[in-house]
Amino acid sequence: MQLYSTSHKSSPVSFKKAVLSGLAGDGGLFMPENLPEMDAGFWKDLHNKNLREIAGDVLSVLLKDEFSTGEIGKIVDDVFTFDAPLVSLDDGLHVLELFHGPTLAFKDFGARTMAAIMACYAGEAGQEISILAATSGDTGAAVARGFAGVQGIRVYVLYPKGKVSKLQEKQFTTLGGNITALEVDGNFDDCQRMVKAAFADRELAGKLNLTTANSINIARLLPQMIYYIHAAAQLGKRHKPIVFSVPSGNFGNLTAGLMAWKTGLPVKRFIAATNQNNVVPNYLAGGSFEAAPSLESISNAMDVGNPSNFARMVELFEGSKGSLQAMIYGAYFSDEETEGAIRDVYQKYRYTFDPHGAVGYAGLKEYRGQESGQTDGIVLATAHPAKFPETVVQITGKEIPVPAQLAELDQKKKHAVPLGNSYEDLRAFLG
């Protein structure tokens, strides 16, 4: 697989180079030069396959020039150790639960795959690789857990002080070993800017063998295509046109859905559902793309003012805004509306969404008010509600049983390095 830069100013690179550098030399994001379609036999037999089988089939096609069959089998074995069940609430209303991994959020899929792939490369290179990741909460958790104990890799997680939930914080500040948490006196955009500056700093990037585990890394996106396809498999052989509603922040998840669609997955429409950080919905509604400072919300993993994967979305439609608008419906919601969605769903179906999934549900509901025709609507539930008890329990009035993944965090002690919010602070720390 050759990958080009969305800025079109540097030449295409190998998959390995793209994974190890994260960002292209010209500042763009890497995109596959071509996304192979899965063959007719794969689609015909889809409803008989489970998640691991689909993962094996898709990764074998995408990464056939990169890894042997044995290596791909090992990646699938390492990563897909938990399921992504489709829960039906109603005729035509389904929830794709992506929160059964070790950090109870969908980012486990991408982070674990990236760790498995990087472990192959670190072994080959015989030198240490450093990973920098900025997080608004869940990325740090998934990446830290995915990479904890992986030989030859050091991870630095930058997170905004006081702006991630206590539980999220515990997930990446208690691991120790090859994982270091950096507590930045600023917001998520500061963290992201600092990480970008470190990559632009050639001397440092070269010295530390720096790469990134944010959703800008292509190794994070590929495995996320798989659960979209698996969702369709779970609908069975006969289903209505499929609409996916994707609660979005940096838009990696939605981009992966679009990529799955490009490989032949039949999808009628994607819904880009956001909180008040509504840069992409505004664009889809006819405005221009205007990055804005991020606003805080109760769906804090989506508090992103300048979504980096937007450049990839544009590429997938060859720059045509019209085609993008035809395929993606945009919607955004206030915290009150998000709370309302949690309440509605609980009252109607006795199902508990976390605030992120609830934004996705609200998006699907709004979309259905606008477009007629029967569909199978699938809401991506990106996090487990037990990660956000402060918000959820006060609305539903029902305690959420704490999954084992969270219960064990209670006794663990936080270790984080306090840092200012300028690149010089980061540079001084990394040396």
Ligand X SMILES: *Cc1c(COP(=O)(O)O)cnc(C)c1O
By beta-carbon proximity to ligand X, the closer residue of 242 and 254 is 254
Question: Which residue in 171, 209, 212, 215 binds ligand X (CB under 6 A)?
Answer: 215
In whole angstroms, how close is the CB of 244 to ligand X at the nearest point?
13
Q: Is residue 383 a contact point for ligand X (CB under 6 A)? A: yes
In whole angstroms, how close is the CB of 117 to ligand X at the nearest point?
18
Residues 347-376 close enough to bind ligand X by CB under 6 A: 356
Question: Which residue in 1, 51, 54, 105 binds ligand X (CB under 6 A)?
Answer: 105
In whole angstroms, how close is the CB of 98 to ligand X at the nearest point?
8
By beta-carbon proximity to ligand X, the closer residue of 314 and 430 is 314
Q: Which stretch binds ligand X (CB under 6 A): 60-68, 188-196, 243-251, 333-341?
A: 243-251
Question: Which residue in 32, 140, 146, 249 binds ligand X (CB under 6 A)?
Answer: 249
Q: Could you give the string, one character per residue 130-169, with x where binding to ligand X holds by CB under 6 A and - elsewhere?
A: --------x-------------------------------
> 3-class secondary structure for the chain?
CEEEECCCCCCCEEHHHHHHHCECCCCCEEEECCCCCCCHHHHHCHHHCCHHHHHHHHHHHHCCCCCCHHHHHHHHHHHCCCCCCEEEEECCEEEEECCCCCCCECHHHHHHHHHHHHHHHHHHHCCCEEEEEECCCHHHHHHHHHHCCCCCEEEEEEEECCCCCHHHHHHHHCCCCCEEEEEECCCHHHHHHHHHHHHHCHHHHHHHCEEECCCCCHHHHHHHHHHHHHHHHHHCCCCCCEEEEEECCCCHHHHHHHHHHHCCCCCCEEEEEECCCCHHHHHHCCCCCCCCCCCCCCCHHHCCCCCCCHHHHHHHCCCCHHHHHHHEEEEECCHHHHHHHHHHHHHHHCCCCCHHHHHHHHHHHHHHHHCCCCCEEEEEECECHHHCHHHHHHHHCCCCCCCHHHHCCCCCCCCCEEECCCHHHHHHHHC
In whole angstroms, how close is the CB of 47 to ligand X at the nearest point?
27
Q: Which stretch binds ligand X (CB under 6 A): 23-31, 182-190, 246-254, 400-408?
A: 246-254
By beta-carbon proximity to ligand X, the closer residue of 56 and 357 is 357
Size of residue set near ligand X by CB under 6 A? 16
Q: Which stretch binds ligand X (CB under 6 A): 178-186, 198-206, 248-256, 257-265?
A: 248-256
- Residue number of the CB closest to ligand X reads 138
Binding site for ligand X (CB under 6 A): 105, 107, 138, 215, 247-253, 301-302, 356, 382-383
